[in-house]
Every structure is written in structure tokens, then in C-alpha cells.
Amino acid sequence: MFFKNMKLLVVFMFFVLGTVNAVAQDEAGVSAKQVVDKFQTDLISIMKDGKKLGYSGRYEKLAEPVTNSHDLTKIARIVVGKEGEKLSEEQQQKLVDVFSRLSIASYAHNFKDYSGESFVFDSEEETTRGGVVVHSHLVIPDDKPVKFDYMLKEKGNSWRIINIIANGVSDLALKRSEYTSILEREGFDALINKINEKIESYSKQ
């Protein structure tokens, strides 16, 4: 089962949370919670067909749910921090493209089968920076539940996930340190090559 030993690739960086309870809605009346709920529902649905779909099938099915629920452009910029300001417009777009593929590949690799898992909503709150955090947990039969904190920000007239923390761990914080170091020491092409190698490894596992 894909979640044994509590291992999960979690992408995205930690943000300080506020304490004001709220149900945040966009102009169309879709709340941040509903964005998370829709993504989790899609994820479980794809997990149920995961073995039959295979990696490539899961990747194809996950592309739209991930793109529609995550602000991949913002996330990619967070990953490289201030080093990203030194990149040309073409390089910035290339980074967004490859990081978007990495994000989808990560879900396709980690959520590969289904053993009765289900997501449960816990609470929702506003942050002091105008965002919303949706707290939930993943119920795993015969194992401990995994706590998820989704950080969302408004983008246009909708909400988008910019950070996910599982059991207090943010893989993106680690990636930011790693990726900025590669940019500083080895340059942009080396970073893109490293991300592409990771995507390739996901497709073969």
C-alpha cells in the first residue's frame, strides 16, 4: 500500500498561519474548502483506478485536477526564491513548465493505488496574510491518519493551493534550499536537468 511507513512526497513550503475562523468564498461562491474537497475527491477517484491506469494514465488524469487546484506558477517561484529574479522571462516560463510536470508526476507516483483511504475535513481558518488554511486528514485503514494543512491564496476570482503540509512536514521547504543552491553553484540548466531526472525516475518506479 502506497502509504506504508507514513511516507508521502509533499510539495510546498510552510507559511505562518493566522487564527481567524472563516469560510472564504470567491465571486462565484466556491469556497477554498470546496477547491480542496474537489481535488481530494479527484485524487481518491484516480487512486481507485490507479493500478489499471498505470503511471502514464494517472499522470494524464491528474494533470487537470492539479492544474485547476494549485497555483503552480507561484509555487515554482517560491521554490527558487530570490534566485528566480535573476532568470530571464524564457527561463522563468521553462521553470514553471518543468515544475508543473514534476508536481503532477509526484502525485501520479505517490498516489498509485487504493486501499480504502478517505479524506476527512477538520476545519478552516483565515491567515493573517489574507489566505485560507483548510485542515483535513487522510484516513488509512490499519494505519495512522495523516494530517494535511492546505494553504490557499486568491488568484483572480478563484482560490488556489500554494502549499501543502503533511504531518507538519513540508518537502518544498527542503526543495527551496536544494534548488536555490543548485542555481547558485551550477546554474539554471543544471537545475532543469535535475528536475527532469526526478520526473523520469517517477515514471519508472
Q: Do 8 and 166 form a contact (C-beta atoms < 8 A)? A: yes
For residue 61, give Cα distances in angstroms to 42, 48, 151, 186: 9, 12, 23, 34
Residue with cell 520526473: 199
Along the 205 residues of the chain, how does pLDDT read in single tens digits?
444 433 443 433 333 333 333 344 444 557 899 999 999 999 999 999 999 999 999 999 999 999 999 999 999 999 998 888 899 999 999 999 999 999 999 999 999 999 999 999 999 999 988 999 999 999 999 999 999 999 999 998 889 999 899 999 887 787 888 889 999 999 999 999 999 999 999 998 7
Task: Provide CB contacts within 8 A for 54, sequence distance 6+.
Answer: none
Distance CA 60, CA 105 (A): 10
| Domains, the chain, with CATH or none | 29-204 (3.10.450.710)
Amino acid at 104: I
